[in-house]
Structure 1
Amino acid sequence: MLDEKKIRQLKSRLNNHTEEIVLQTLKELLKREEFSHISDSEAALLDVATYALNRLPPKYIATEKGEVYTKTEELEQQHSVDILSVVTKAIKVVSEDESKK
């Protein structure tokens, strides 16, 4: 039977690999001079991450085999370009919104 305890256990094993990639991409982009003015507050960073993640397909993994498959897929040029593009746009949208406040 699928009870609350089992659901919590299953949930703890699921990992959206796209989250990791988005956060790593964000970290790298914020090192660039062009983004030096961007706020590093938790609220702003969460806004950027959620903006990007809501526009990218999730890549859930639960096993080592799934992780290897997902990391192999990551190497595909288009996937990397898509993530870079979406995270860059997220930074710009959030920073524009922050400047209006």
Structure 2
Amino acid sequence: MKVHNLMEDIVTRVVDDLCKEKAHTEPGKYCLTEECRQDIVCYVLNRVPPRYVSSARGVAYTSVHYEEDPQLLIDILTLATEGLKRITSIRRPYYQASSPSPPKADYLFHFPVIRGRLLLAPTFEPAADITVLLVHEGKAVPMIDARWQNPYYITKALPGTFVFLPAPLPAPRKDEKASFELCIHVDKEGYLPLRHYFTIELSSRPAEAEGPPEETLVLPDLYLAPPDEESEEALS
């Protein structure tokens, strides 16, 4: 098995139990959608030390050891409650947005996370306040859930960086091979249009397989260039 952070399992169970309790005792007070729960889990995991295991025996031993540690469970519950209140107060737009239904198929093509950087030429300054669109066959690519946006808006807080996680696509059978040509579209006033094409090779997996592959496709740095004199004349 791969290296696994056991705290993910423990924290997820504590958060699920907390949300179920709040839904019963204080209905409507907190954000309890799946997207909110996942953000609460991340909130807690970023504040507790990880516990890594790499074998079945390790999972069995540490599961019993940590799940019977009352102080650890109290600490996690305290952080989860704090995270629940914080996430509810933020109310991100995607908390109320509906995520697309997964394709009804026995096998799926799972896409990796697609990450890239957009820089401004000729200064190489990271771009900000710019929208990046991921396109396949002339259409915007649907994302895996409401927490991922397409188009992606690059903010001043995270200049230059854009990320996508496309929704899986149905496949006819297991281990089916397919190529998908995608394109990054950027149109910004004062700069030449940017089109960057790239191909992803995928192999289908059973639909019940947990989540997308744990990998990231890192694109080469992309540059937005101002038009030269000839380009300006052609566009005028």
TM-score (norm 1): 0.74
The partner residue of 1:93 within 82, 86, 98 is 86
Quick one: which amino acid aligns to residue 20 of structure 1? D
Query: Are the counterparts in 1 of residues 31 and 87 from structure 2 also a CA contact under 8 Å?
Result: no
Question: How far is 1:60 from its partner?
Answer: 1.3
Quick one: which amino acid aligns to residue 37 of structure 1? K
The partner residue of 2:14 within 11, 25, 31 is 25
Query: Are the counterparts in 2 of residues 30 and 36 from structure 1 also a CA contact under 8 Å?
Result: no
The partner residue of 1:39 within 31, 34, 38 is 31
Structure with more strand by fraction = 2
CA–CA separation in structure 2 for the residues paired with 1:36 and 1:70 = 36
TM-score (norm 2): 0.34
CA–CA separation in structure 2 for the residues paired with 1:78 and 1:49 = 18
Query: Are the counterparts in 2 of residues 47 and 94 from structure 1 also a CA contact under 8 Å?
Result: yes
- Decide whether aligned partners of structure 1 residues 88 and 35 sit closer, same or farther in structure 2, where only a CA change above 3 A counts: farther
Higher relative contact order (Cα pairs below 8 Å, separated by 6+ residues):
1
Structure with more helix by fraction = 1
Query: Are the counterparts in 1 of residues 15 and 80 from structure 2 also a CA contact under 8 Å?
Result: yes
Taking every aligned residue pair, what percent have the same amino acid on both sides?
28
Structure 1: runs of 5+ lacking an equivalent:
1-11
